[in-house]
Amino acid sequence: QLRINTGCIVKSTVLAADQYKLQSTARSRNCRARSRNCSSDRKEEGLPQPIVGYHTDDEGHWVAHLACGHFQHVRHNPPMTERPWVLTEEGRKSFLGFELLCKKCASGAPKDEQ
Protein backbone atom coordinates (compact mmCIF):
# COMPACT_ATOMS: atom_id res chain seq x y z
CA GLN A 1 0.00 0.00 0.00
CA LEU A 2 1.01 3.56 -0.66
CA ARG A 3 0.67 6.19 2.06
CA ILE A 4 0.07 9.68 0.73
CA ASN A 5 0.59 12.67 3.01
CA THR A 6 -0.90 15.84 1.57
CA GLY A 7 -0.02 18.01 4.54
CA CYS A 8 -3.71 18.36 5.38
CA ILE A 9 -5.02 14.80 5.35
CA VAL A 10 -3.48 11.36 5.09
CA LYS A 11 -4.91 8.49 3.05
CA SER A 12 -3.68 4.95 2.54
CA THR A 13 -4.53 3.45 -0.81
CA VAL A 14 -3.05 1.90 -3.92
CA LEU A 15 -3.06 4.41 -6.74
CA ALA A 16 -2.45 4.41 -10.46
CA ALA A 17 -1.09 7.67 -11.90
CA ASP A 18 -4.50 8.88 -13.10
CA GLN A 19 -6.12 8.05 -9.77
CA TYR A 20 -3.29 9.84 -7.95
CA LYS A 21 -3.84 12.96 -10.04
CA LEU A 22 -7.61 12.93 -9.51
CA GLN A 23 -7.29 12.32 -5.78
CA SER A 24 -4.63 15.03 -5.51
CA THR A 25 -7.09 17.54 -7.00
CA ALA A 26 -9.90 16.32 -4.73
CA ARG A 27 -7.66 16.51 -1.66
CA SER A 28 -6.70 20.05 -2.55
CA ARG A 29 -10.37 21.07 -2.75
CA ASN A 30 -11.14 19.22 0.49
CA CYS A 31 -8.17 20.90 2.16
CA ARG A 32 -9.37 24.38 1.17
CA ALA A 33 -12.87 23.61 2.42
CA ARG A 34 -11.54 22.42 5.79
CA SER A 35 -9.08 25.19 6.60
CA ARG A 36 -8.43 28.67 5.27
CA ASN A 37 -4.85 28.32 6.57
CA CYS A 38 -4.04 25.26 4.46
CA SER A 39 -0.88 25.78 2.41
CA SER A 40 -2.53 24.55 -0.80
CA ASP A 41 -4.92 27.53 -0.66
CA ARG A 42 -2.30 30.29 -0.42
CA LYS A 43 -1.22 31.96 -3.66
CA GLU A 44 2.24 32.61 -2.24
CA GLU A 45 2.78 28.83 -2.29
CA GLY A 46 3.16 28.95 -6.06
CA LEU A 47 1.52 29.07 -9.46
CA PRO A 48 0.41 25.86 -11.22
CA GLN A 49 2.85 24.85 -13.97
CA PRO A 50 2.82 21.58 -15.97
CA ILE A 51 5.77 19.18 -15.93
CA VAL A 52 7.44 19.08 -19.37
CA GLY A 53 10.54 16.97 -18.63
CA TYR A 54 13.00 15.67 -16.04
CA HIS A 55 16.68 15.39 -15.20
CA THR A 56 18.68 14.15 -12.22
CA ASP A 57 20.77 16.42 -10.02
CA ASP A 58 24.34 15.75 -8.85
CA GLU A 59 23.02 13.52 -6.04
CA GLY A 60 20.77 11.45 -8.32
CA HIS A 61 17.50 13.08 -7.22
CA TRP A 62 14.85 13.65 -9.89
CA VAL A 63 14.10 17.24 -10.88
CA ALA A 64 11.01 18.22 -12.89
CA HIS A 65 11.29 20.77 -15.70
CA LEU A 66 8.23 23.02 -15.57
CA ALA A 67 6.70 24.80 -18.57
CA CYS A 68 7.63 28.16 -17.01
CA GLY A 69 11.35 27.33 -17.25
CA HIS A 70 11.87 26.59 -13.57
CA PHE A 71 13.03 23.30 -12.04
CA GLN A 72 11.54 21.58 -9.01
CA HIS A 73 12.75 18.47 -7.15
CA VAL A 74 10.27 15.59 -7.21
CA ARG A 75 11.75 13.25 -4.61
CA HIS A 76 10.23 10.05 -3.30
CA ASN A 77 11.27 10.37 0.34
CA PRO A 78 8.79 8.51 2.57
CA PRO A 79 7.21 9.27 4.93
CA MET A 80 7.73 13.00 4.27
CA THR A 81 7.07 12.93 0.53
CA GLU A 82 5.35 10.07 -1.29
CA ARG A 83 6.03 10.17 -5.03
CA PRO A 84 6.68 6.57 -6.09
CA TRP A 85 5.96 7.55 -9.70
CA VAL A 86 9.39 9.25 -9.94
CA LEU A 87 11.16 5.91 -9.47
CA THR A 88 10.33 4.51 -12.93
CA GLU A 89 10.50 5.92 -16.44
CA GLU A 90 6.89 4.86 -17.01
CA GLY A 91 5.81 6.68 -13.85
CA ARG A 92 7.62 9.88 -14.80
CA LYS A 93 6.15 9.78 -18.33
CA SER A 94 2.66 9.36 -16.87
CA PHE A 95 3.09 12.63 -14.93
CA LEU A 96 4.16 14.76 -17.89
CA GLY A 97 1.60 17.56 -18.01
CA PHE A 98 0.75 17.20 -14.30
CA GLU A 99 0.77 20.63 -12.65
CA LEU A 100 3.03 21.42 -9.71
CA LEU A 101 2.94 24.66 -7.75
CA CYS A 102 5.94 26.77 -8.75
CA LYS A 103 7.14 28.97 -5.89
CA LYS A 104 9.77 30.51 -8.15
CA CYS A 105 7.04 31.90 -10.46
CA ALA A 106 5.22 33.39 -7.48
CA SER A 107 8.42 35.14 -6.38
CA GLY A 108 9.34 36.35 -9.89
CA ALA A 109 12.58 34.33 -10.06
CA PRO A 110 14.42 34.03 -13.41
CA LYS A 111 14.30 30.76 -15.34
CA ASP A 112 16.60 27.97 -14.17
CA GLU A 113 19.57 26.78 -16.21
CA GLN A 114 20.74 23.20 -16.35
φ/ψ (deg, to 5) at 111: -60, 150
**What is the per-residue pLDDT across 55-112, written as a single tens digit (0 to 9) for each?**
999 999 999 999 999 999 999 999 999 999 999 999 999 999 999 999 999 999 999 9
98 CA to centre of own chain: 8
As a whole number of Å, the CA-based R_g of the chain is 14
| Distance of alpha carbon 25 from alpha carbon 27, whole angstroms | 5
- Among the residue ranges 21-35, 47-61, 85-99, the one predicted with the least confidence is 21-35
What burial letters (b/e) apply to 64-95, b meaning 16+ CB within 10 Å? bbbebbbbbebeeeeeeebbebbeeeebbebb
